[in-house]
Every structure is written in C-alpha cells, then in structure tokens.
Amino acid sequence: MAILLVAEHDNATVSDQTAKALSAALAIGSDVHVLVAGKGAQGAADGASKLQGVTKVLLAEADELAERLAEPVAALIVSIAGGYDTILAPATTMGKNVMPRVAALLDVMQVSDVIEVVSADTFKRPIYAGNAIQTVQATDAKKVITVRTATFQAAGEGGSASIETVDAAANPNLSTFVENRIAANDRPELTSARIIISGGRALGSSEKFQEVITPVADKLGAAIGASRAAVDAGYAPNDWQVGQTGKVVAPELYIAVGISGAIQHLAGMKDSKVIVAINKDEEAPIFQVADYGLVGDLFAILPELEKAL
Amino acid sequence: MKVLVPVKRVVDYNVKIRVKTDGSGVELANVKMSMNPFDEIAVEEAIRLREAGKVTEIIAVSVGPQQAQETIRTALAMGADRGILIKVDELVEPLSVAKLLRGVVESEGIELVILGKQAIDDDANQTGQMLSALLGWSQGTFASKLEIDGATARITREIDGGLQVLDLKMPAIVTTDLRLNQPRYASLPNIMKAKKKPLDEKSPADYGVEINARLKVLKTEEPGGRKAGVKVKSVTELVDKLKNEAGVL
C-alpha cells in the first residue's frame, strides 16, 4: 500500500526537510504520496510534484490549514489515512506537533525521530540525547513516523507527479492562530546550511554575540546557531538553539565558538562532517568530538579568522 | 480550575548513561534518577497559575514503579497539592501513558494539563499531543509563555522559524519548552510538608487501561563514536587545514 508523507512547507515552497524525509519514505516503499496542507499552497504543491520519487501530490486548502495548526491538520490526515499503511513527516516542530496527535487518533504508537530505515517496520532512533541508538520494530498495522532529517540526503528534483485536490476535514475549532514572530534574515536555514557557526555562553552578551559571530558567518555564508546556555541567557533567539531539544544539524562544517560541549548540545551537532572547536578551556568536552581544536580567546581568534577567510 | 501535571522519573540529566553490553538496553541500576527537567517546568507553571489565582488545585501524577513516588514527592515539595501514582513496573509507551492520563483527567474533573514536551530518556515528544487527541482537546505544544483568561489560554510556542502565538479553547493541553520559566527549588520545610500531602496509589486497571507495548525494542547500541581530532596552533593553520585537508572551505 502507499505511503503518505506530510510536507513541511510555507505555502509558497516546499522545504528541504520534506525532500530529506522523502528519502526515508522511499527506503520504506516506492509509492509515496505527499500531502500539502495549507492555504494558497499551489506553489508548495508544485514544488512537491517535482521531487524525484513522488507518485502523487494531495493538496488540501482551508483557512485553518494556513498555519498548519495541529488539530485540523491531524483531522485531515486521519480522514485520508485509510489508504496508507505508513504515514510520516519530518521531525520539524510541525511534524512533532501534528504526528503524535494523528497516531493517537489512529490508536498507533508513533516511532519518533527515525535516523535509519532498517525495513518497512523496523527503524533506528536515538534515545538519551543520542547517547544510545534503539532499533525498534513497530507492530501496529499502520506506522506513524517522524524522520530526523539531518541523517537523510534530500531527494532530487526532476519528477512530475500529478496534483490532486482533497477536501479539508471539518474544522475541530479548538485553537486559533494569532501571529507568528519570525525574524526575517537572508541566512541559510540551520537545518539545511552547508556551514554553521554557533556561539555559546562565553560570548557574554547579545551585542558581543552579534559583533563577533556575524562577520565570520557573513564571510562563510553560514547559518548561525547557539547553545542552550546562550539562548537561555538571551544572547540568541530560541530558534537558533542546536541540541537535544533544539535543532539537530549535520552540516559539512560546524564551528563551535565558546561552547563547552554539554551532551545535550553534542546531541544536536555530532553528525556534522567536520567540527571545529574554539574555546579557551582546553579541557572542554567539545574538543573530544572536534576534528580541529583551537585553544584561545575567542574575541581575538574570531576577528583574525574573519580576516583569514 | 484543577490542573494535572504528569511527572516522569528519568535518569538524571547530568548522568552519562551506559548502554548494556548485551544490547538489551541502558544501564539503570544504581543510577541517579530525577524528575524529567521539562516536567519541573510544568510543575512550576502550574504553581505560578495557582499563585495568580487561576488554579485551585494541582495534582501531580506519575506512571511508573514504586520509586516514582519520590518524583511525585518532589512535585509536592515544589508546591503541588496531592499526588497519584499509577503503579506499573514495566516500561510504558507514550500511547499507554496518554490513555492512563485520560482516565485521570476524566475521573478528577481536570480542565488543564501541563506536561513536559519530552522526556529526556526516550526523547519521544508524544504524550501531550496524544492525550490531547484522546480527549479531543486543544493542544499548545512547546510553550514559552502561557496566559489564561477565562475560557481561553493564549500560548506562545517555540517553532522552527521563531515564535507562534495561538489562542487555545479551554480545556487544553500545554506542553512546556525550556524558556517557559525557571523552576524553583523545594525548601527544606516544604520537603518535610510534602511528606504529609496525600498520595494515592492506583493501577492501570483502575482506569480500564491494559498496558501493552506496540514497539518491540530489538536492540540498543552505542552510537558510532567520533574521535577527537587535532589541536591546531593558530588561525592560519586552522584555515589551511579546513581548505587543504578537510576540503570544506
């Protein structure tokens, strides 16, 4: 039977996370339908139809789907779930919000944060902040899965799947969207960036964070991340947090600046291809996972690095 | 309004866990256990709502072995009014926990449930959403701010691009993110007082729930390790290595 992939998108375009989750879907089976739930989302549906391996795109549009609120999106997925034996979504905040609701409505135990598809019913997933990897077999007839996208390659483009319109389910009317507060910037997204530079508490203030990290990020065309300590201290916004409970990233180059390397942070970045650590404490645990370590004062090193690039 | 706060007993977040060599799981014997940090935030939020006069009673519930009582006592020492232990010795999956919590919500007349967004042992991030689905209630996950005004809860959520504000129709389920509040420490007098607060013991059968695992754990293993690399002496050497050795610049 077919597989349903719930798309991460912003109505205009389909996100890279969807293309990565598609690779996981294709490792489970070959007939993958993508659900685009939104409002004015033809652009995202067109984007999804071009992804290599998608056999059909389902487009559902309604006011309450515009921001993909959990209750109406889950109701929609459940209304079409009969035709699918696997339903999956990237483990973005959307996927994490919606999918367990779908699973409970279907009386299915969800498999969260899959990092490897072993077979159609068996998956690997991290537990304890990635300090152990569990292999689990899902025994429910239907599988509901979220995919940790950092470990999957994005599926390519070149497909031309048909787009079919489906009706939204009756709106449960339980919650109302008020507003999004999303900082606009021109940087690449953390979860798809090729290079990330992250700052920790050692930066000392939000001004210093900007002053020291931003010029290097600009030079490298890098996304900016932060440790939990830096976010808690107000040096960086919450959506920059990399770690167990923030974003999990795997760029080609990860530069950790003034980050000691708590296990919760390592959980979010240790799959990066190359890790650079800059820290004045040579005993900092971050050096145990870094390919290249530089011990010293970050306030001297970063301006020098910016010039050297 | 009565609030329910589920609390989970997990390996303390400072403990570096060890995987058993036979692949059967994670070593839990003689390991320090604590309340899941996100659940502490949930308890704190409930107490603040009571202090603000929005909440009349806070019930802390835990699903787990006899020792989970200690976790409930911690919640009572922080300020919860009474506790319920649903005693289960085996591991309980989020779906079963959600079914048990539905039973508690219905039997206790609960109007708001505040839960941690995830437990730091299984990292599943499911129970709140599942409970919300089973009850047919509104759900506000990953909260960094919560304001209750009569029949509406306004919640600010941490989402991928930043923050999202929603109005939830009460009754509601709220799951906590890190920035919601800074949980208080229990004072010694309050720890003593907590010992006298009521703590009921229940079984899954009391709520008509049968515990069965839907996921079969085949194996638990150590993640692929990462070796420490080299220390470079200067920025020039670093840039050179990144360009010529790693090839990432």
A280: domain CATH number? 3.40.50.1220
Which residues constitute the domain of residue B172? 2-245
Residue A1 pLDDT: 81
Has A104 been labeled as part of a binding site? Answer: no
Residue A283 falls inside a structural domain: yes
Bridge partners of A197, per DSSP, are A224, A255
- Name the residue facing A291 among B123, B219, B229 (closest C-beta): B229
**Residue linked to tokens 């239907």:** A142
Residue B161: predicted pLDDT: 84
Query: pLDDT, tens digit, for every residue of B103-153?
Result: 999 999 999 999 999 999 999 999 999 999 999 999 999 999 999 999 999
Instruction: Answer yes or no: do A127 and B123 touch at CB < 8 A.
Output: yes
Residues A190-207, mean pLDDT to the nearest whole number: 95
In chain B, which residues have their Cβ closer than 8 Å to the Cβ of A181? Answer: 162-165
Taking the C-alpha atoms of residue B11 and residue B123, their distance in angstroms, rounded to an integer, is 12
The rounded distance, in Å, linking the Cα atoms of A305 and A127 is 36
Q: Do B124 and A110 touch (CB under 8 A)?
A: yes
Please name the member of A113, A174, A287 whose beta carbon is closest to the beta carbon of B168.
A174
Residue with tokens 């020039």: B236
Are residues A149 and A263 both part of a single domain? no
Residue A96 falls inside a structural domain? yes
User: How much is the CA Rg of chain A, to the nearest whole Å?
Assistant: 20
pLDDT at site A197:
98
Tokens of A189: 């997204």
| Yes or no, beta carbons of A108 and B19 under 8 Å apart | no
Please judge whether A103 and B130 are an interchain contact, meaning their C-beta atoms are less than 8 angstroms apart. Answer: yes
Q: Is residue A180 part of a domain?
A: no
Please give the ipTM for the structure prediction. 0.95
Domain contains A185: no
Sheet with B215-221, side-by-side order of all strands: A116-119, A122-127, A132-138, B215-221
Lowest mean pLDDT among A49-63, A232-246, B38-52: A232-246
Tell me how crowded residue B107 is: count the other CB atoms within 10 A of its CB: 12
Cβ neighbours of A256 in B, within 8 Å: none
Do A38 and A94 fall within a single domain?
Answer: yes
Put simply, the answer to whether B160 touches A94 (Cβ < 8 Å) is yes
Residue A177 lies in a domain: no
Residue A185 vs residues A77, A135, B161: alpha-carbon distances, Å = 32, 39, 10
Flag whether A227 is marked binding.
yes
Chain B residues within an 8 Å CB radius of A192: none
Q: Which residue segment(s) compose the domain that A195 sits in?
A: 190-308
- Structure token pair of residue B148: 């209750």
Residue among B17, B178, B222 whose CB faces A228 most closely: B178
CATH number for the domain that contains residue A49: 3.40.50.620
For chain A, what percent of residues have pLDDT higher than 90? 94
Using a CB–CB cutoff of 8 Å, tell me whether A12 touches chain B. Answer: no
User: Is A14 in the same domain as A161?
Assistant: yes
Do A270 and B226 count as a contact with CB atoms less than 8 A apart?
A: yes
- The verdict on A201 and A266 lying in the same domain is yes
> What torsion, rounded to 10 degrees, do the Cα atoms B239, B244, B248, B249 define?
50
Pick the last residue of a domain from A165, A181, A206: A165
The residue among A108, A93, A255, A15 whose CA lies nearest residue B144 is A93
Q: What is the pLDDT of residue B146?
A: 98
Tokens coding A217:
């990020």
- What is the structure's pLDDT at A185? 77
> What's the pLDDT at B100?
98
Instruction: Tell me the count of A-B CB pairs closer than 8 A.
Output: 255
Residue B182 neighbours by CB distance under 10 Å = 10
Mean predicted lDDT score pLDDT of chain B: 96
Query: In chain A, pLDDT over 70 holds for what percent of residues?
Result: 100
A92 is in an annotated binding site: no
Work out how many domains chain A is built from and give that number. Answer: 2
Helices (H), A221-277: 228-232, 263-269
| Domain annotation covers residue A97 | yes
One-letter amino acid of A80: I
User: A133 with B220: CB under 8 angstroms?
Assistant: yes
CATH code of the domain covering residue B121: 3.40.50.620
- Compute CA distances B187 → A164, B52, B78, B79, whole Å: 61, 21, 8, 10
Assign A217 to helix, strand or coil: helix
Are B248 and A252 in contact, with CB atoms under 8 Å apart? yes
- A25 is a domain residue: yes
Residue A192 pLDDT level (bands cut at 50, 70, 90): confident
Is the domain of A199 the same as that of A292? yes
Number of domains in chain B: 1
Q: Tokens representing A109? A: 């135990």
- What residue ranges in A91-138 does DSSP mark as E strands? 111-114, 116-119, 122-127, 132-138
Q: Provide mean pLDDT across the span A57-64.
A: 97
Round to whole Å and give the CA distance between B165 and B114: 17
- Residue B200's DSSP bridge partners are B84
Is A265 within any annotated ligand binding site? yes
User: What is residue B108's predicted lDDT score, i.e. its pLDDT?
Assistant: 98
Calculate the average pLDDT of chain A.
96
For residues A109-135, give the mean pLDDT.
97
Tell me the mean pLDDT in the region A41-45.
Answer: 98
- A23 and A151 housed in the same domain: yes
Shared domain check, A202 and A151: no
- A132-187 tens-digit pLDDT: 999 999 999 999 999 999 899 999 999 999 999 999 999 999 999 999 998 777 88
- Report the Cα–Cα distance between both ends of chain A, in Å, rounded: 52
pLDDT at A189: 86
Burial of A218 (0-12, 13-18, 19+ CB in 10 A): middle
Tell whether A17 and A65 lie within a shared domain: yes
Say what the pLDDT of residue B228 is. Answer: 86
Cα–Cα distances (Å) from A99 to A85, A88, A96, B7, in that order, read 14, 8, 6, 22
Please list the ranges in chain B whose pLDDT falls under 70.
none
Q: Kindly report the backbone phi and psi dihedral angles of residue A5, in degrees, each rounded to the nearest multiple of 5, phi listed first.
A: -105, 120
Of A92, A110, A295, the CB nearest to B231: A295
Which is nearest to B134 in space by CA: A171, A101, A76?
A101
User: Alpha helix locations (H) across B84-194?
Assistant: 94-108, 127-135, 188-194
CA distance A53 to chain B (A): 26
Specify whether the CB–CB gap between A123 and A136 falls below 8 A.
Answer: yes
pLDDT tens-place string over residues A18-39: 999 999 999 999 999 999 999 9
Measured CA to CA, the distance from residue A11 to residue A33 in angstroms comes to: 17
Nearest to B165 among A74, A173, A178 (CB): A178
